[in-house]
């Protein structure tokens, strides 16, 4: 029988009522003749709460801050949210007379790297699940989790259930991977920031990849990477309404194409500048080597003009990685002989994305003009073949998203 993967995010399984509604959608697909693998997230807010418990547990007594913690135990705790919802979904399906059982990552097994907290899926063994499909038993899989080479529970990074679903769809050779969420598709920008955002009928893998990696959290970046590599037909749909969603597909399958198809934002960015570093070969490597070793996700990088053999180096990273970055750079300081480290953690990144940029010039200029018209100062700029990103003051982030959305003609009439 053809197979289908259906993933339900946190809001879509937030309580038993929602789980029942989601199960109703599963039953409909089962009745259409599919063997279904349902992938579930933890109930809305649950993972955040579990992360908070870990941080509190690791805080030294009497301190106000958080301590360093064992990432393997972090995974043991945060993976538990999905265990609850997979069991509940299986129970509700059974009650609807859809034969189903739950699967934890280790039971399938979904084998991952050992990078606890940010593991990558390496292999999914589908034989056991396929045998159960043959017995008429549908699968409910805990998203977000797998088993590391150390035999311990691992998790795939925040939003990782999307990646569980796509990887499973590829391994099961499923006809489609449907991502049910609290919006009814991929929009030209986050509809929570711009209510005139337009739902896209289709979006190319490459554009979705850029939007996701630049902050559009509707799909985890890695899930889009996998869908693109394994040609998984990926759909984003509403779990609340029966509406056509968005298909993520090959560029060739898209007829109408705007130059810019979407605007993404990342709210919690920081701009870090190292003042007075020597301007000579090997210095960038000496700075970014320790940052990479410390696992800091460096994004934009700018080196200033040199004066008297010295220069300034600026980069951006997520705000919650600044402490790590500072520690890594202070450890390397004697080599670098740099002066001060200046951190601006009140910035945000806004990005316009579109494959049409490959053949059209003037996108960056139009973006800068639209920001200037709102009086928004640009702190750092980076470009790639299909995107332009800017770092701006966080307080102007919403305004910038709305202005760019309008400037590129994305707003609904």
Binding interface with ligand ASP (CB under 6 A): 9-10, 41-42, 47, 81, 143-144, 158-162
Residue of closest CB approach to ligand ADP: 9
Question: Judged by CB under 6 A, does residue 41 bind ligand ADP?
Answer: yes
The Cα–Cα gap between 178 and 185 comes to 11
**Per CB under 6 A, which of residues 261..290 are in contact with ligand ADP?**
262
CA 301 to chain centre: 21
Element (H, E) at 124: strand 121-124
Closer to ligand ASP by Cβ: residue 190 or 312: 190
The Cα–Cα gap between 105 and 157 comes to 14
Which are the contacts of 308, defined by CB distance < 8 A and separation ≥ 6? none
Closer to ligand ASP by Cβ: residue 170 or 386: 170
Closer to ligand ASP by Cβ: residue 144 or 315: 144
The CA-based angle 138-79-119, given to 5 degrees, is 100
Closer to ligand ADP by Cβ: residue 83 or 324: 83
Closer to ligand ASP by Cβ: residue 41 or 261: 41
Residue 160 interacts, among Mg ion, ligand ADP, ligand ASP, none and using kind-specific CB cut-offs from 5 to 8 Å, with: ligand ASP
Which are the contacts of 110, defined by CB distance < 8 A and separation ≥ 6? 121, 123, 124, 145, 146, 147, 164, 167, 168
Dihedral, 370, 372, 374, 378 alpha carbons, nearest 10: 100
The Cα–Cα gap between 144 and 167 comes to 11
DSSP secondary structure, 191-248, as one string: TTT-TT--B-SEEEHHHHHHHHHTT-TTS-HHHHHHHHHHT--EEEEESSS----EEE
Q: Which has the closest alpha carbon to 161: 40, 47, 247?
A: 40
3-state SS assignment for residue 185: coil
Strand duo 35-40 + 138-142: pairing: parallel
Question: Judged by CB under 6 A, does residue 184 bind ligand ADP?
Answer: no
Q: How far is the CB of 232 from ligand ASP (least distance, A)?
A: 17
The Cα–Cα gap between 9 and 181 comes to 5
Can you name the residues that pair with 269 across neighbouring β-strands? 318, 347
Question: Judged by CB under 5 A, does residue 143 bind Mg ion?
Answer: no
Residue 47 interacts, among Mg ion, ligand ADP, ligand ASP, none and using kind-specific CB cut-offs from 5 to 8 Å, with: ligand ASP
Stretch that binds Mg ion, among 1-9, 116-124, 199-207, 340-348 (CB under 5 A): 1-9
Stretch that binds ligand ADP, among 7-15, 67-75, 118-126, 311-319 (CB under 6 A): 7-15
Question: Judged by CB under 5 A, does residue 354 bind Mg ion?
Answer: no
Of 3, 10, 408, 410, the residue at the interface with ligand ADP (CB under 6 A) is: 10
Q: How far is the CB of 204 from ligand ADP (least distance, A)?
A: 14
Q: How far is the CB of 330 from ligand ADP (least distance, A)?
A: 35
Closer to ligand ADP by Cβ: residue 197 or 322: 197
Binding mask 314-353 toward Mg ion (x if CB under 5 A, else -) reads ----------------------------------------
End-to-end CA distance of the chain: 44
Strand duo 176-181 + 3-8: pairing: parallel
Stretch that binds ligand ADP, among 91-99, 180-188, 350-358, 379-387 (CB under 6 A): 180-188
Question: Judged by CB under 6 A, does residue 146 bind ligand ADP?
Answer: no
Of 81, 146, 148, 159, the residue at the interface with Mg ion (CB under 5 A) is: 159
Q: Which residues would be at the binding site for Mg ion (CB under 5 A)?
A: 9, 159
Q: Which residues would be at the binding site for ligand ADP (CB under 6 A)?
A: 9-12, 41, 159, 181-183, 186-187, 189-190, 192, 216-218, 262
């Amino acid at each position: 029988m053809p197979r289908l993967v259906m993933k339900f995010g946190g809001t879509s399984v937030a309580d038993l009522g929602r789980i029942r509604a989601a199960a109703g959608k599963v039953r409909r697909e089962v009745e259409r003749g599919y063997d279904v693998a349902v992938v579930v997230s933890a109930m809305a807010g649950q993972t955040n709460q579990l992360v908070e418990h870990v941080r509190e547990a690791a805080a030294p007594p009497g301190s106000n801050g958080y301590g360093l913690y064992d990432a393997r135990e972090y995974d043991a705790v945060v993976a538990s949210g999905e265990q609850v919802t997979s069991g509940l979904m299986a129970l509700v399906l059974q009650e609807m007379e859809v034969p189903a059982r739950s699967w934890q990552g280790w039971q399938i097994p979904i084998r991952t790297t050992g990078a606890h907290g940010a593991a990558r899926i390496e292999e999914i063994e589908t034989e056991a699940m396929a045998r159960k499909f043959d017995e008429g038993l549908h699968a409910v899989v805990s998203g977000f989790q797998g088993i590391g080479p150390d035999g311990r529970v691992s998790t795939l990074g925040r939003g990782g259930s999307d990646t569980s679903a796509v990887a499973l769809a590829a391994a099961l050779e499923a006809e489609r991977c449907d991502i049910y969420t609290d919006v009814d598709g991929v929009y030209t920008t986050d509809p929570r920031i711009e209510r005139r955002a337009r739902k896209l009928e289709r979006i190319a893998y490459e554009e979705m990849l850029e939007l996701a990696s630049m902050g559009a959290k509707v799909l985890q970046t890695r899930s889009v990477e996998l869908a693109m590599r394994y040609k998984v037909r990926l759909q984003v749909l509403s779990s609340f309404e029966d509406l056509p969603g968005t298909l993520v597909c090959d560029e060739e399958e898209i007829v109408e194409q705007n130059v810019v198809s979407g605007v993404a934002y990342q709210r919690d960015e920081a701009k870090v500048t190292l003042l007075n570093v020597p301007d000579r070969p090997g210095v960038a490597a000496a700075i970014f080597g320790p940052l990479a070793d410390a696992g800091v996700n460096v994004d934009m990088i700018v080196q200033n003009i040199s004066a008297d053999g010295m220069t300034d180096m600026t980069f951006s990273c997520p705000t919650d990685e600044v402490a790590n970055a500072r520690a890594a750079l202070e450890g390397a300081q004697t080599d670098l002989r740099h002066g001060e480290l200046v951190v601006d953690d009140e910035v945000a990144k806004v990005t316009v994305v579109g494959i049409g940029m490959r053949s059209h010039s003037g996108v960056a200029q139009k973006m800068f003009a639209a920001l200037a018209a709102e009086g928004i100062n640009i702190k750092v700029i980076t470009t790639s073949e299909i995107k332009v990103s800017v770092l701006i003051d966080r307080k102007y982030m919403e305004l910038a998203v709305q202005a760019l959305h309008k400037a590129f003609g994305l707003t609904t009439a």
